[in-house]
């Protein structure tokens, strides 16, 4: 069956350019890190909002860099699935997309200055490295996205690091509990990238990419993908059994139906358009998991 992908119009062009289904990968870790911090200090909501907005803008800019460089390398076409489509389908100038991405980075940098001035200037270096990773994920001569390290870099910088920084700006310290609670976020953000790479395996292979999914092969890649989910849930159960975190953290189990559906979809379908719902559900899993974990920590805070 032939599928067609319709062009967007009006504000939808710019909204789709941000790839909104991926933005939860920034929101959820910030919220989680902040809810861990509530057990240690009174929250500074201005810092929370600054961190949240900066993280969302960096994620949106990273997606725009992806859009620009995939177009520049001739990888995106009107039929490409999972792209914003502003350039190839909606006629937006590539230069406009690139300038907008750098503009979002500039706004994020200003917010970063405010956060660093309020906490520690070392965060400028941390934020700067994070922004460089966002740019070089698809930009530069050797994009990270073209290597087997995409899941590792995205998990560490968009999952783990965001949780830890969100925690640090509230408490100005890092604890072992915060580090342990950041592990599932790392795995789930990596899962978002793995889902993307499994979906795009055919096109990526033709373009010369050597992603983890391509090197492992589709069956093994889906198995690795599945284990990202399994380990995330098992990790929280283990922390509860060891009395490291509250039993309320088990609220994350309410989200388990989503990854089950995702894995079944990837096992039964291979066409990019067929697995798109699973792509979105992978992002939703990340959001629900971190949100439910954060709510569990918040409930424990009010009950203790």
Q: What is the pLDDT of residue 264?
A: 95
Query: Which of the listed ranges 11-20, 208-217, 225-234 does the model predict with the highest average pLDDT?
Result: 225-234
Considering only CA atoms, give the Rg of the chain: 19
Domain spans of the chain, in order of start: 11-303
pLDDT value of residue 26:
82
CA dist., res. 266 & res. 269, Å (int): 5
pLDDT value for 255: 96
Residue 96 has pLDDT above 50, yes or no: yes
pLDDT per residue as tens digits for the range 23-79: 777 888 999 999 999 999 999 999 999 999 999 999 889 888 988 888 887 765 555
pLDDT of residue 5: 47
Q: What pLDDT is attached to residue 191? A: 95
pTM of the entire predicted model: 0.88
Indicate the range of 16-30, 138-152, 220-234 predicted with least confidence: 16-30
Tens of pLDDT, residue by residue over 104-115, are: 999 999 999 999
CA–CA separation, 194 vs 189, rounded Å? 9
Could you name the CATH architecture of 11-303?
Orthogonal Bundle (1.10)
Higher pLDDT, 52 or 97: 52
Dihedral Cα 189, 3, 147, 143, nearest 10 deg: -90
| Residue 90 clears pLDDT 90, i.e. is over it | no
Tell me what pLDDT residue 10 has: 62
| Poorest-pLDDT segment among 76-85, 133-142, 247-256 | 76-85
DSSP 143: -
Q: Which of 134-143, 215-224, 257-266 has the lowest mean pLDDT?
A: 134-143
Tokens, residue 127: 């934020």
Residue 1 confidence (pLDDT) above 50: no
**In this model, does residue 4 exceed pLDDT 50?**
no
| Three-state secondary structure string covering the chain | CCCCCCCCCCHHHHHHHCCHHHCHHHHHHHHHHHHHHCCCCCCCHHHHHHHHHHHHHHHHHHHHHHHHHHHHCCCCCCCCCCCCCCCCCCCCCHHHHHHHHHHHHHHHHHHHHHHHHHCCCHHHHHHHHHHHHHHHCCCCCCCHHHCCCHHHHHHHHHHHHHHHHHHHHHHCCCCHHHHHHHHHHHHHHHHHHHHHHHHCHHHHHHCCCCCHHHHHCHHHHHHHHHHHHHHHHHHHHHHHHCCCCCHHHHHHHHHCHHHHHHHHHHHHCCCHHHHHHHHHHHHHHHHHHHHHHHHHHHHHHHHC
């Amino acid at each position: 069956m032939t599928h067609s992908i319709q062009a967007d119009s009006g504000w939808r062009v710019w909204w789709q350019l941000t790839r909104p289904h991926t933005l939860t990968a920034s929101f959820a870790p910030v919220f989680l890190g902040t809810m861990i911090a509530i057990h240690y200090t009174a929250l500074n909501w201005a810092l929370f909002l600054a961190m949240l907005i900066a993280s969302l803008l960096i994620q949106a800019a990273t997606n725009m860099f992806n859009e620009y460089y995939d177009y520049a390398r001739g990888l995106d076409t009107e039929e490409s699935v999972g792209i914003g489509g502003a350039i190839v389908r909606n006629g937006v100038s590539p230069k406009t997309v690139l300038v907008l991405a750098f503009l979002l980075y500039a706004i994020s940098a200003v917010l970063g200055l405010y956060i660093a001035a309020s906490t520690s200037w070392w965060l400028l270096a941390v934020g700067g490295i994070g922004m460089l990773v966002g740019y070089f994920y698809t930009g530069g001569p050797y994009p990270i996205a073209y290597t087997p390290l995409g899941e590792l870099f995205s998990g560490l910088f968009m999952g783990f690091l965001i949780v830890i920084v969100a925690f640090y700006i509230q408490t100005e310290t890092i604890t072992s509990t915060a580090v342990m609670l950041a592990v599932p976020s790392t795995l789930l953000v990596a899962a978002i990238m793995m889902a993307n790479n499994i979906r795009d395996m055919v096109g990526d292979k033709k373009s010369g990419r050597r992603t983890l999914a391509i090197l492992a092969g589709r069956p093994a890649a889906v198995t690795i993908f599945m284990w990202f989910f399994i380990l995330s849930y098992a990790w929280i159960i283990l922390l509860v059994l060891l009395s490291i975190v509250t039993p309320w953290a088990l609220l994350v189990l309410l989200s388990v139906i989503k990854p089950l559906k995702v894995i079944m979809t990837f096992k039964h379908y291979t066409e990019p358009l067929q697995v798109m719902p699973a792509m979105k559900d992978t992002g939703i899993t990340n959001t629900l998991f971190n949100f439910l974990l954060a709510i569990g920590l918040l409930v424990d805070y009010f009950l203790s």
